[in-house]
Amino acid sequence: MLATALLAAPVAVANDLDQAFDHVFHTPPAALRVEPAQRMSIPSNGPSYGPTYGTPLNLQLAALASSERGRIGVAALDLSSGRSIAVLGNQPFPLASTGKVAIVATFLDGVDQGRFHLTDSYPLMLPLPSHKFSGSVAPVRPGPSYSALELIELALTRSDNHATDALLAAIGGPQAVDRWLHHSGIGEMRLDRDIATLVRDDGAINPATTIDVRDSTTPQAMVRLLSGLYEGQWLSPSSRDVLLGAMSRCQTGLHRMRAAIPDEALVGHKTGTLANTSSDVGMIRTPDGHTIALAIYVTGQGSKPGREARIAAITRAIYEGYQSGAQPVATQQLAMGPTIRRSLSGTRQDVASGSASKAGPEVGRSHAVAPRISPRIPGRAPFLRPPLCIAPAIMSPGAGVQLPSSATD
């Protein structure tokens, strides 16, 4: 399978690579001030990988993904040729709302097995007031009920948290998603908390300098998930079309992946945003018929606009590099910055640089329930061929009702 062409490689962390990378890009490692008992450095006694750039695309990507201002992870796979490229591709990054792809896929697998139906109704999961870290699970209450198809549309096109937690509750919680991922062979992605808890406790750890393995994925694991879903490895054709069709109508992250590709290209994607981290993952179809699975996870960079600009620049570089026929070194770990700490407990870390943004996940947008299903992205041709068509009878007559603000890009 093309999805398996993206082979996992050890994380490049040896000191000689740090020095070589700093020599090329003049990026001194950031200083860290950490309590000794809390520090868990990634081992540096593994294989040593020198910075073999190979092509102009590799060199350009290494420069764009410099970790001087925060960790950046990238993985891309051309499903037509099997060509792949990665920067910190097997290092964990916050899933944030990109994990909603796995949640919806798990639900749709249940639809294929006959356990659920797209017309089934489930209540929104509305958070109740609670203090950060006041319990392992944030309290929620059931709200109005909507069809599964409406909830999927809201979760993937508006990144609605209440709708996502409704689907998550229906399938049995984060553990159900982890079981599905394990069964599907995606071993470097995990979901530990529902969205209400993830949002409530956001900001405790700075992802620019610290790895929190909870609710995380490697860029390569996300690319394997996306490519497998696109190729129909795990879902029926109808369920695949529901998921990819909703991704093609994504309305978040207008300054990220979508901003970087020309109008003649097609995109279906899902964004993610939490404190000091922004991401965008998805499928891009080029005018010549190639399909690229792409996952970009950016931390730090000084601000959300800075992270979004970096996502757009990396997307553009990969799109143009693949269009030009460049031959990237498969899964080469092109860049590595300072030693990164893993956090297993989720306790707050004090660092001397790159402090986590005080702004939490983006919230505040109100969303109409059951937005009109359109087979086209504005200004673009349908992402799927043939275009996705959903019978109006499936949609709830409650269109136009305003949901509580609950989106996280």
Which one is predicted more confidently, 67 or 231?
231
In a domain, 313, yes or no: yes
**Which of 211, 267, 226 has the alpha carbon at shortest distance from 90?**
211
In a domain, 346, yes or no: yes
Q: Which two tokens stand for residue 126?
A: 């509305």
The pLDDT score that the predictor gives to residue 258 is 92
Band (325; pLDDT cuts 50, 70, 90):
low
In this structure, the strands spanning 341-343 and 210-212 are: parallel
Q: Which residues of 88-107 are buried (b: 16+ CB within 10 A; e: fewer)?
A: bbbbbbbbbbbbbbbbbbbb
Which one is predicted more confidently, 222 or 368?
222
**Between the CA atoms of 213, 217, 218 and 223, what dihedral angle is there, to the nearest 10 degrees?**
170
Band (54; pLDDT cuts 50, 70, 90):
low
Domain count, the chain: 1
In a domain, 54, yes or no: no
Read off the pTM: 0.75
- When pLDDT is averaged across residues 123-130 and rounded to a whole number, the result is 97
Tell me the per-residue pLDDT of 326-361, one tens digit each, with 9 for 90 and over.
Answer: 444 444 444 334 334 444 333 333 222 333 333 334
Q: How far apart are CA 121 and CA 338, in angstroms?
A: 48
Tell me which DSSP letter residue 275 carries.
Answer: T
Q: How far apart are CA 18 and CA 22, in angstroms?
A: 6
The pLDDT score that the predictor gives to residue 409 is 78
Q: Is the pLDDT of residue 364 over 90?
A: no
In a domain, 4, yes or no: no
Q: Is the pLDDT of residue 136 over 60?
A: yes
Band (40; pLDDT cuts 50, 70, 90):
very low
* Candidate from 95-109, 242-256, 265-279, 360-374 with smallest mean pLDDT: 360-374
The pLDDT score that the predictor gives to residue 1 is 37
Percent of the chain with pLDDT over 70: 66
3-state secondary structure of 29: coil
Could you tell me the CATH number of the domain that includes residue 251?
Answer: 3.40.710.10
H/E element, 272 = strand 266-274
Q: Is the pLDDT of residue 317 over 50?
A: yes
Q: Is the pLDDT of residue 375 over 80?
A: no
Percent of the chain with pLDDT over 90: 59
In a domain, 281, yes or no: yes
In a domain, 187, yes or no: yes
Q: Is the pLDDT of residue 250 over 90?
A: yes
- When pLDDT is averaged across residues 225-253 and rounded to a whole number, the result is 97
Q: Is the pLDDT of residue 52 over 50?
A: no
- When pLDDT is averaged across residues 50-54 and rounded to a whole number, the result is 45
- When pLDDT is averaged across residues 159-185 and rounded to a whole number, the result is 98
* Candidate from 49-53, 135-139, 234-238 with smallest mean pLDDT: 49-53
The pLDDT score that the predictor gives to residue 322 is 85
In a domain, 33, yes or no: no
Q: Is the pLDDT of residue 7 over 60?
A: no
Band (323; pLDDT cuts 50, 70, 90):
confident
Find the domain containing 312 and state its range: 69-394
The pLDDT score that the predictor gives to residue 58 is 81
In a domain, 186, yes or no: yes
The pLDDT score that the predictor gives to residue 132 is 94
Amino acid at 362: E
Cβ atoms 66, 337 nearer than 8 A: yes
Q: Which two tokens stand for residue 100?
A: 């909603």
3-state secondary structure of 181: helix
- When pLDDT is averaged across residues 96-119 and rounded to a whole number, the result is 98
Q: What is the mean pLDDT of the chain?
A: 75
Which one is predicted more confidently, 203 or 40?
203
Q: Is the pLDDT of residue 41 over 80?
A: no
Tell me the per-residue pLDDT of 382-407, one tens digit each, with 9 for 90 and over.
Answer: 444 433 333 222 233 233 334 445 67
Phi, psi of 320 (to 5 degrees): -70, -35
Beta bridge partners of residue 94, listed in sequence order = 216
